[in-house]
Amino acid sequence: MALLTLGINHRTAPVELRERVAFTPERMAEAFAELRATSGASEAAILSTCNRTELYLAGDDDCAPMVLRWLAGFHGLETAELEEALYMHRDGDAVRHMMRVAAGLDSMVLGEPQILGQLKDAYALAREHGASGSFLSRLFEHTFSVAKRVRTQTAIGENPVSVAYAAVSMAHHIFADMSRNKALLIGAGKTIELVARHLADAGVRDFLVANRTLERAQALAESRGGKGIVLSEIPEHLPDVDIIISSTASPLPILGKGAVERALKRRKHRPYFMVDIAVPRDIEPEVGSLADVYLYTVDDLRQVIEENIRSREGAAREAENLVAAGVQDFLNQLRALDAVSTLKQFRQRAELLRDNEIDKALRALRNGGDPETVLRSLARGLTNKLLHEPSVQVRKATTEGRTEVTEWLRELHQLDALDADATTTPEKL
């Protein structure tokens, strides 16, 4: 079975394209059904985050063109729009890519830990929809094990260098003393939880958390001494906040230019700092054109992030070594599984030949045959049957110049050891 990874990420595609290729939770069931029905992939998993959309597939070796056409069509794009930003990895390279992603080595923020959780969620979703079979399940489980070793055996995750941390760091360029500022966090997922933690560490004490479900918003807000609201209440509270950081899975913008314009009139030129981490974006891009609004997307955080990853570069080299070992270990496991299947077939064939010869011998005995003659005939017949096809193939291979087959035969049956025993036998006598 062939393994294929196909996708786009923050290095190959701008946010404008990434948000068009993102998968919303509401369409995942449809996506899995279509993908497996039209692409030639028997197993599939989909990872969709603010920085990447990737498909992990097991199936036909030539399924890549069909997958590309499906991906473009599913999102209403022309195939050509995707091709320039698309990357593909096959078999061993696909294994290595997934492990690097899980370890945070392919992230915008080197070593960031959230991607591992997102990959686990993608695997769980694939299993929930019956899209992940034994092959992908084995790969995901092994990948998670490698990522855990990277986390525990290297220092790649020691310093806070996440997208959330970078977003809060940028706020210092606008507000020198953030203890005086009120923050509105839109969403209540893991990224926003991390943002809230870093804002609190930076001195912010006044929090609002807006979410589709009030219970989740209240739970996160109350953990920081703040207040939870639903998304429809955002315009009412907009004039009172200074920092807005958003990360939801909404397919449409949550905060528009009109609402921000109305809030600005009441703020008397007090600036807004906004970071839109979501893909698709939660804040209309036109908001950034307004005076006194400093709006950044996930792509704008790159410079801040790059300044903070130098301390992780040594750990990254160690992590790459662990990934390389993990890839080799997984491929060895696959080869071992192939050997088990081949050995099973080999044994089944030998047992069939054995049963045929035993049946023939039993018939001879029932017909009054001499037992010794029957036994010798059985042994001779079984030996001939077992050795006939291998002998034919070895002679054929040797004639064709494939002399390594003869060497494999000598290794499999330890013929060199037999030759050595034959040489030493007279001396022993």
Catalytic, 63? Answer no
Phi-psi region of 391 (alpha: psi -120 to 50; beta: other; left: phi over 0): alpha
Q: Which helix (H) or strand (E) holds 426?
A: helix 415-428
Q: Of 266, 253, 261, 267, whose CA–CA distance to 186 is shortest? A: 253
Q: 134-153 vs 91-102: helix axis angle to the nearest 10? A: 50
- Please, which residues bridge with residue 55 across strands? 6, 46
Is residue 379 a contact partner of residue 415, using CB atoms and an 8 Å limit?
A: no
Q: What are the respective helix, strand and coil percentages of the chain, to the nearest 5?
A: 60, 15, 25
Cα–Cα distance between 23 and 27 in angstroms, integer?
7
Dihedral (Cα; 100, 102, 107, 113), 10-degree rounding: -140
Give the pair of three-digit tokens for residue 294. 């400093």
Which residues make beta-bridge pairs with 48? 53
The answer to whether 154 and 319 are in contact (CB under 8 A) is: yes
Closest CA to 283 of 328, 335, 248, 319: 248
SS3 268: coil
Side-by-side strand order, sheet with 52-59: 41-48, 52-59, 2-9, 87-90
* Catalytic annotation, pick one of 4, 21, 50, 249: 50
CA distance 164 to 301: 10
- Counting Cβ atoms within 10 Å, is residue 205 exposed (0-12), middle (13-18) or buried (19+)? middle
Cα distance between residue 414 and residue 406, in whole Å: 12
Distance of CA 5 to the CA centre of its chain: 9
Q: Which residues neighbour 365 within 8 Å (Cβ) at sequence distance 6 or greater?
A: 371, 374
| Torsion region of 368: left, alpha or beta (phi above 0 gives left; psi -120 to 50 gives alpha) | left
Q: What are the residue numbers of the active site? A: 50
